[in-house]
Homo-oligomer: A and B are copies of this chain.
């Protein structure tokens, strides 16, 4: 496992008084939130204001995204020194830039002079970071290199771009905007790093990236991801993915009984194969019992059992890292609050949900293949991405439908069925974190 050293914020922000924020000062909205959290019942959907009230959205950002680690990108998105991506969460923008020594710097994307956005593209490559307004120039580590005519008593050392905590785990980059990040994530990283490492993300490249702005609150996006009860709505996915995921034997509907039996057999074979190769497959299930909520496990795929194609056959001819076999099923990793991952022998897919407003969420999906795989030869990007592009669009539809309904005063929070246990776990994790926030 490779953990980047945690980068500490510069001293400058400490001198700053917190700006008076309408949300933070709005005692009425905090009181509303407290009431709603207190009366939340387990195994019941959240009430309407959690999805519709702009003040509660502001509290979500403050209570979740400003306090906890969240997934931002993988190192494959910024392979070379100077490569960057910008990550937006609400009105926050953070630069992730690859340093000369291969490390990753995370910086607030705001000029320290008059506040202009420094980088406006979602990704690219730069030498230094130059603000377009008055040409203040920063190094890739955020230090201020040049500011013209800035006066005799100006100390450039006080005006570097503000740093953000980042941690890279097996090629996955996480951010934390809190001054002092919570500790549990590092321990959880020790758990999932060995699960991800065999897929060797540092030796992958981006085959394709899809961005969808879903017309729903970020929690609806996450809740939708956490169950397969709706998988009848994913016909392409259902070819290779066992849609009985999450069901107990006695709950399996009649039309899925054959699927269920195939999946039991396939899972059995997969585990034997993994044991043989020393590939981790065990479920680790702590989606709400840890502060850094996690669920991971390796599930067999249907058909050829290799990848997300119509027949289950591989979608790239190059194995990732030093993997010994294509038939390794779907390594599935869920991390609260905003990400999920599919780790296969031939490719990896990362999914990140970034809240935009109380009713809009950006979902960024990235397909990674071996860095020496050639499009058109070893894989075809269109085929590689087909199933999950379709699935994502279908999911966006479900999220939009739900946003419209839960903001209707006629909405009554309904019960989760047993198979929606990971939805309950996400909502319970969220509720506990928000209880801590308002305490």
Contacts and interface: CB of A to CB of B under 8 A. Distances in A.
A374 to B, nearest CB: 38
Interface residues of A, number: 81
Interface in A217-238: 223, 229-230, 232-233
A415 B411 CA distance: 42
A402 B114 contact: yes
A410 interface: yes
Contacts of A25: 28, 32
A99 interface: no
A12 B412 contact: yes
Nearest to A13: B412
A251 B149 contact: yes
Interface stretch (A48-56, A281-289, A298-306): A48-56
Interface string A51-69: 0010100000000001000
B22 A115 contact: no
Interface string A134-150: 11000000000001111
Contacts of A404: 93, 116-117, 120
A27 to B, nearest CB: 9
B133 A410 contact: no
Interface stretch (A103-111, A192-200, A204-212, A310-318): A103-111
Interface string A61-83: 00000100000000000000000
Interface in A9-49: 12-13, 16-17, 19-22, 25-26, 28-29, 32, 35-36, 39, 45, 47-49
Contact of A418 (B39, B112, B151): B151
Contacts of A29: 22
Contacts of A134: 229-230
Contacts of A418: 149, 151
Contacts of A114: 45, 223, 402, 406, 414, 416
A174 interface: no
Contacts of A94: 410
Given A111-B414, A148-B229, A159-B414, 8 more contacts: A16-B412, A20-B35, A22-B53, A45-B115, A91-B409, A113-B415, A116-B398, A151-B251
21 contacts: A19-B36, A22-B28, A22-B53, A22-B55, A92-B408, A93-B404, A93-B408, A114-B223, A115-B414, A116-B398, A116-B404, A120-B401, A132-B233, A134-B229, A147-B417, A148-B229, A149-B252, A149-B253, A150-B415, A151-B417, A162-B412
Interface of A: 12-13, 16-17, 19-22, 25-26, 28-29, 32, 35-36, 39, 45, 47-49, 53, 55, 66, 90-94, 108-118, 120, 132-135, 147-151, 154, 159, 162, 223, 229-230, 232-233, 247, 251-253, 397-398, 401-402, 404-419
